[in-house]
Chain A
Amino acid sequence: MSILGTRVIRTEDPRLLTSGGVYVDDLREPELAGAVRATFVRSPVAHALITGIDAAAALEQPGVVAVLTVADMTDMPDQVPPEPEPEGVPPAEGPMPLGGLWAEPLLAVDRVRFVGEPVALVLTDSTYQGEDAAELVSVDYEPLPAVASIEAALAGESLLFPEAGKNVCVQGRGEVSDDSIFDGCEVIVEGDVVNQRVACLPLEGRSTAAAWVDGKLTVWASTQNAQIARLIVTAIGLPPEAIRVVAPDVGGGFGAKIGIDRESIVVAWAAKHTGRPVRWVETRSENLVAMTQGRAQRHHIKIGGSKDGHIKAYRLDVVQDTGAYPRMSGFLPMLTNLMAPGVYDIPAVQAGYKVVVTDATPIAAYRGAGRPEAAATIERAVDWYAAEAGVDPALVRRLNFIKNDQFPFVTKTGAPYDTGDYEGALDKVLAAAGYDELRAEQRRRREAGDTRQLGIGLASYVEITAADGAAGETAKVEVHDDGTATVYTGSSAHGQGHHTAFAMIVTSELGIPMDKIEVIHGDTDLIPDGIGTYASRSLQLGGSAVHKAAIEVKDEAAKRAAELFEAAETDVVLDADTGTWHIAGDPDKSLTWSQVVAAADQGLIVANVRFTADRPTFPFGTHLSLVEVDTETGKVTLLRHVTADDAGPVLNPILLEGQRHGGIAQGAAQALCEEILYDSDGNPLTSTLADYAAITAAELPSFELLTSETPTPGNPLGVKGIGEAGTIGATPAVHNAVIDAVSHLGVRHIDMPMTPERVWTAIQKAKANAQ
């Protein structure tokens, strides 16, 4: 029986549970002996000109090795390297506005554009000395008016990049204003939906260590892709072979550790510049102002349809706040546009976007990266329309779903959906949740005028994963003559369980036991070619690559086995349950992997492959959230969260469930409590975990997960991505649930996060309007 589909507990865990992982700050490599600590001096103002930097007082402090500014970077090439294009589809129309006028310098040159922007680097013998000395670096700022909101950016009174002449850095598809698509609609809803700025918040912040030894730079980075992180050498002006990047244990990423940030490049440069090994581990206060953040879109929507729940037209206009420097910002709203109509067959859809710079922390990928924003808004819009039409939101979804026999289906926005069973996922969730009973209880409480009202929120979503399947992923599988196997993957785990999953694939194909399979990732000397982990791509591309390599190894081994058996290759079979080779029909004669591999050149059978996919995959599902809202205080309690998330055949249910759990929590967090806030001068108000309302166990229930498996033809495993399903489905389900709880009071929309204050205020306003 195949191990695939079974609940295999992780091989990664015993080490993490007994001695702890080895993250960058834990490394005790000899090359890092005596490493100095890097502390960044960061801008305390949102927008200003730098008129002077004086490091004299800092340099007199004990333990200070150097204070470095952009003036010291005389050994650097001029330009900043381009960001990788991580999340898939190449920009069809919106350009990636990278470099040029909008370039992000490594250290501030003569202007700062957000609180937290790195201005100088202090190197000291110890961490505490670094914090002391950094405070003594005196920087003169001449303040400029801050652009602290999308509105301020669009007003254009103050410009971040005066030479650009505007704050709009990307204009996507043209303004859409053809209102004729709504002609004949009996019910039309129009409004603004904010998808607020949130922190990615991996528990380990960013960290980088670097050593320059004999003309080669070794960099240990907390990254989602060591191979792409080699961009460091381009930035420093070294040849590609002059760097080795190692990703040790990585304490979470969620999109914010794709590629490499300017701080890591500066740390690597400092190691080369000073000849001393350097280690940088950011504090949480730094992390919350300087690690890229997510979402930050403002949507204007219009949706129309018939009185009986048939949607006729939908329009989505996106403004992306990209923060101070455009990173993947042309790309995120383009994905939001692509996925705008979600799971619905809507006859007319228009979508457009523009991107603005603001004096705030740069925005990049966060678990879902452009797709959660699309799902959040279409699902909100559908509920809004359903409420206005007076039709049950489950029925509206059912009426407008793309039907099973319509796949493959190309949406009006051009998304080529592969497979789906949207109604099946909805039915499963409604049945498991007891939808009719919940509605009955809701009615009872409404009629009783209960202060604790029940809200039922639905979200049916589809998302795009492995959109960059053409880039594919690499794998090398080696079987040794002692019967062990080694798997080298270009994918890059940071909690997902790659080592367990990939070993399961190999053991399933080759019958070599799990405990004889070692999986290695994240070392560019061992794995020069790789793409990494993001966009829910790892199993479908990285796993398929491992699968392909294992099959090639098996084919090669069959030749060796045939020679040993003196039989025809076609007569040789591998018993994958026992890992032994036989002649078909003769189970008595057998060879072990050791014997077969010993007959190969150098006692080794190797396959080195790249798997590419010619199409993205489209996982889907339905989430139902049940909340209780205290109408006197506005407090929301999340009671239940029931989901059917379909990402194709399940390799290991434990890993799949873990991905869903984590995503649901992050999605619920965005709906209920998390938001990065700035005041009108661009000062961050949520720069510590005491201020940023990260969700905790006490605010969440256990989740109820249902299974649904619709394979894709896009890869041999039939799998789609599951990493981002949770955030994509949960945010609108919780959002809709809270509004549903108070809709009978006249509330139609509340923006996220739905804090008690916001919910209470919405109730008061609705009551006032009703009077």
Chain B
Amino acid sequence: MKVELTVNGKDITAEVEDRTLLVHFLRDTADLTATNIGCDTTSCGACTVLLDGESVKSCTVLAAQADGREVTTLEGLADGSGEMHPVQRAFHTEHGLQCGYCTPGMVMAIVSLLRENPSPTEAEVRDGLEGNICRCTGYHNIVRAALTAAASSAQGAQ
């Protein structure tokens, strides 16, 4: 079947198998490989992307379901000048990543979480990230990165 998606602001039209998952569309058709696959049961969140601005696990969405919609992946998060998004920046300054494999999904999940709740408590961040598994960081610095990004966004807004 034919699908038309806007990925990171760019229109992509392609003929895909009906059963094609969004994550495979992004990786194989759009050739955007930042989005990783960490499980096959929608448990780990490594494949998290934004679909019309909301976080989804792209292993559990068919490309067909995303037809006509907008997808943002890690590659599309920095602004036009290449300046990192506050969440990306906070991951860097707070050492929120080690091997980097869960990172794209974590970053996208936090971007979405902060859109819904711009100044979360630590407990709210932890609950919000329950669907994203990281095996390296013990989550400590990921949580700090989320709180740092929230604080810097709040400061920027003042």
Using a CB–CB cutoff of 8 Å, the interface residues on chain A facing chain B are 9-10, 12-14, 16-23, 25-26, 28, 127-128, 201-204, 249-252, 254, 281, 283-285, 494-497, 654-655, 657-658, 661-666, 688-690, 694, 696-698, 700, 702-703, 726
Q: Which are the 10 A-B pairs with shortest beta-carbon distances?
A: A20-B34, A251-B101, A665-B138, A495-B99, A495-B98, A689-B43, A661-B138, A16-B100, A26-B33, A697-B139
Q: How far is the CA of A252 from the CA of B46 in the complex (A)?
A: 13
Q: How far is the CA of A190 from the CA of B78 in the complex (A)?
A: 60
> CB within 8 A of A657: which of B24, B95, B99, B136?
B95
Contacts A17-B84, A252-B99, A284-B38; is A689 near B135 (CB within 8 Å)? no
Q: Are A689 and B41 in contact (CB under 8 A)?
A: yes
Residues of B within 8 A of A9 (CB): 92-93, 95
Residues of A within 8 A of B101 (CB): 21, 23, 202-204, 249, 251-252
Q: Are A203 and B102 in contact (CB under 8 A)?
A: yes
A-B contact count (CB 8 A): 184
Q: Are A496 and B40 in contact (CB under 8 A)?
A: no
Using a CB–CB cutoff of 8 Å, the interface residues on chain B facing chain A are 17, 19, 24, 27, 31, 33-44, 46, 74-75, 77-78, 82, 84, 88, 91-93, 95, 97-104, 107, 122, 125-127, 129-144
Q: Are A688 and B39 in contact (CB under 8 A)?
A: yes
Q: Are B138 and A16 in contact (CB under 8 A)?
A: no
Residues of A within 8 A of B126 (CB): 697-698, 700
Q: Are A204 and B138 in contact (CB under 8 A)?
A: no
Q: How far is the CA of A12 from the CA of B36 in the complex (A)?
A: 18
Q: Are B129 and A696 in contact (CB under 8 A)?
A: yes
> CB within 8 A of B33: which of A18, A22, A662?
A22
Q: Are B35 and A20 in contact (CB under 8 A)?
A: yes
Q: Are A128 and B133 in contact (CB under 8 A)?
A: no
Q: Which residue of A lies closest to B93 (CB)?
A: A9
Contacts A18-B84, A20-B34, A201-B135; is A251 near B99 (CB within 8 Å)? yes
Q: Are B100 and A495 in contact (CB under 8 A)?
A: yes
Q: Are A698 and B43 in contact (CB under 8 A)?
A: no
Residues of B within 8 A of A127 (CB): 24
| A contacts with B: majority SS | loop
Q: How far is the CA of A21 from the CA of B105 in the complex (A)?
A: 12
Residues of A within 8 A of B130 (CB): 696-698
Contacts A9-B95, A13-B91, A17-B88; is A249 near B100 (CB within 8 Å)? yes
Q: How far is the CA of A655 from the CA of B103 in the complex (A)?
A: 17
Residues of B within 8 A of A281 (CB): 37
Residues of A within 8 A of B37 (CB): 25, 281
Q: How far is the CA of A25 from the CA of B101 in the complex (A)?
A: 12
Q: In angstroms, how far is the closest chain A Cβ from the Cβ of B35? A: 7
Q: Are B104 and A662 in contact (CB under 8 A)?
A: no
Q: Which residue of B lies closest to A659 (CB)?
A: B98
Q: Are B140 and A702 in contact (CB under 8 A)?
A: yes
Q: In angstroms, how far is the closest chain B Cβ from the Cβ of A5? A: 16
> CB within 8 A of A18: which of B42, B88, B133?
B88
Residues of A within 8 A of B134 (CB): 203, 697
Residues of A within 8 A of B127 (CB): 698
Q: How far is the CA of A203 from the CA of B137 in the complex (A)?
A: 12
Residues of A within 8 A of B99 (CB): 21, 202-204, 249-252, 494-495
Q: How far is the CA of A665 from the CA of B141 in the complex (A)?
A: 12
12 further contact pairs, Cβ within 8 A, besides A690-B41, A702-B143 = A13-B91, A16-B100, A18-B88, A204-B99, A251-B36, A654-B95, A657-B141, A658-B141, A661-B140, A694-B133, A697-B132, A726-B138
Residues of A within 8 A of B133 (CB): 203, 689, 694, 696
Q: Are A10 and B43 in contact (CB under 8 A)?
A: no
Q: Are A662 and B107 in contact (CB under 8 A)?
A: no
Q: How far is the CA of A201 from the CA of B24 in the complex (A)?
A: 22
Q: How far is the CA of A575 from the CA of B122 in the complex (A)?
A: 45
Q: Which residue of A lies closest to B82 (CB)?
A: A18
Q: Are A13 and B92 in contact (CB under 8 A)?
A: yes
Q: How far is the CA of A146 from the CA of B88 in the complex (A)?
A: 50
Residues of A within 8 A of B132 (CB): 696-697
Most A CB contacts (10 A, CB to CB) among B33, B82, B102, B136 go to B136
Q: In angstroms, how far is the closest chain A Cβ from the Cβ of B125? A: 7
> CB within 8 A of B75: which of A20, A201, A655, A664?
A20
Q: Are B100 and A10 in contact (CB under 8 A)?
A: no
Residues of B within 8 A of A665 (CB): 137-140
Contacts A20-B100, A128-B19; is A285 near B107 (CB within 8 Å)? no
Q: How far is the CA of A358 from the CA of B127 in the complex (A)?
A: 39
Contacts A661-B137, A661-B140, A696-B130; is A496 near B98 (CB within 8 Å)? yes
Q: Are A25 and B33 in contact (CB under 8 A)?
A: yes
Residues of A within 8 A of B139 (CB): 661, 665, 696-697, 700
Q: How far is the CA of A12 from the CA of B133 in the complex (A)?
A: 21
